Amino acid sequence: MTEATTEQQIALGVERIARQTRAALGHLPRRMPMEGWRTFDWSAVNHGDWSRWLAAVGALPERPAGAINHLDRPAITATTDGPALPGLEADLRALIPWRKGPYELFGVLIDTEWRSDLKWDRLVDRIQPLAGRRVLDIGSGNGYHLWRMLGAGADFALGVDPTWVFVAQFHAVAHLLGETRAGIVPTTLERFPQRPRFDTVFSMGVLYHRRDPFTHLGELKACLRPGGELVLETLVVEGDATTILTPADRYAGMRNVWFLPSPAAVIGWLKRMGFVDPEVIDVTVTTAEEQHRTEWFGDRQSLVDFLDPDDPTRTREGLPAPQRAIITARCP
Ligand SMILES: Nc1ncnc2c1ncn2[C@@H]1O[C@H](C[S@+](CC[C@H]([NH3+])C(=O)[O-])CC(=O)[O-])[C@@H](O)[C@H]1O
């Protein structure tokens, strides 16, 4: 690959991402204060690998005419009757590590660290139907669940996530799907404008990373229209409404886990923050089927590496092994 070619690919990556973002945000009413993101300068991102990821997005082959998508299957799928797309697998591998999926894009199966479809299956029939809704997904990662939201009938799904490689992965997938009904804003909830009001707001896998869970819940509420639904997923421990574990240091290898409440404690937090009808719809222990090592995750450490080899009900730090609850609640 020559230097000039790389420069052209970076420029094409910027163009593709900017075009997709403008088109996606165009689905929102003008009064939603998203102007800054419509004109975001994608070439000026301050991250050492960003231009490499831009080049990967810019190098992707065009989506073949007549291709078909399936957004309601475990693997987000794009398919065509035509020949394989040259170079596609190498371009997608340039975006490793892939945490959330799976995807099957024109014959390339991306076996991600997480089987994100399992979480989706646990919640989709227990939440307010997404048909016709405008949805916000805080901590969307590479957007796997955004595509499933569209597959479940949502009108539009917006992700918010500050991790640049996941943002690049989202745009690679969006390009191959040829979809503009989903978008991603590259920031944290704390920096996201608070006035946009969505019909359903998801926050999955984020609450335990926040030092102040009440501020997080308040910010989620500020993004919901009256009567809209919150779908909250977080790590939990067993116990009653008074049980909240604060790890002394790491939890399952993660430095940034601050609070592990019981499901009953989360219900109390939600009520305290003014949500109504909070309900625990699922509690599941994370298995190696759901979270596993894979080459698409760069063979990095995964769940089994963080559990006590002699007692898989405990983490290596001696704390209860990961289990996660999904809780729904309404904005009054
Ligand atoms: N303050 C923040 N604001 C927004 N996003 C954040 C913040 N802090 C971290 N993130 C982002 O939240 C995501 C958490 S993963 C859940 C993905 C998906 N939801 C899933 O349920 O599979 C955790 C897990 O592995 O489950 C990451 O992509 C972070 O970049």
Nearest CA to ligand 1 atom 21: 204
Beta bridge partners of 194: none
Q: Was 251 annotated as part of a binding site?
A: no
Q: How far apart are CA 234 and CA 222, in angstroms?
A: 19
- Of 76, 56, 63, nearest in space to 169 by CA: 56
Ligand 1 center from residue 219 Cα (angstroms): 15
Q: What is the CATH number of the domain that holds 251?
A: 3.40.50.150
Q: Was 144 annotated as part of a binding site?
A: no
Residue 83: pLDDT above 90? no
205 lines ligand 1 (CB under 6 A): yes
Beta bridge partners of 200: 135, 229
DSSP state of 321: P
pLDDT digits (tens, 9 = 90+) for 235-286: 999 999 999 999 999 999 999 999 999 999 999 999 999 999 999 999 999 9
What pLDDT does residue 187 have?
95
Query: Which pLDDT band holds residue 5 (cuts at 50, 70, 90)?
Result: confident
Q: Was 254 annotated as part of a binding site?
A: no
**Lookup result for tokens 């970076």:** 10
Q: Which domain holds residue 52?
A: 3-330
Query: Which pLDDT band holds residue 2 (cuts at 50, 70, 90)?
Result: very low
Domain count, the chain: 1
Q: How far apart are CA 12 and CA 172, in angstroms?
A: 12
Percentage of residues in the chain having pLDDT higher than 70: 98
**Ligand 1 mutation target, pool 118, 161, 163, 254, most atoms within 8 A of CB:** 161
Nearest CA to ligand 1 atom 23: 205
- Rounded mean pLDDT of 125-144? 98
204 lines ligand 1 (CB under 6 A): yes
139 lines ligand 1 (CB under 6 A): yes
Q: Was 163 annotated as part of a binding site?
A: yes
What pLDDT does residue 1 have?
44
User: With b meaning 16 or more CB within 10 Å and e meaning fewer, what string describes 165-201?
Assistant: bbbbbbbbbbbbbebbbbbbbbbbbeebeeebbbbbb
Q: Do residues 182 and 174 touch, judged by C-beta distance below 8 A?
A: yes
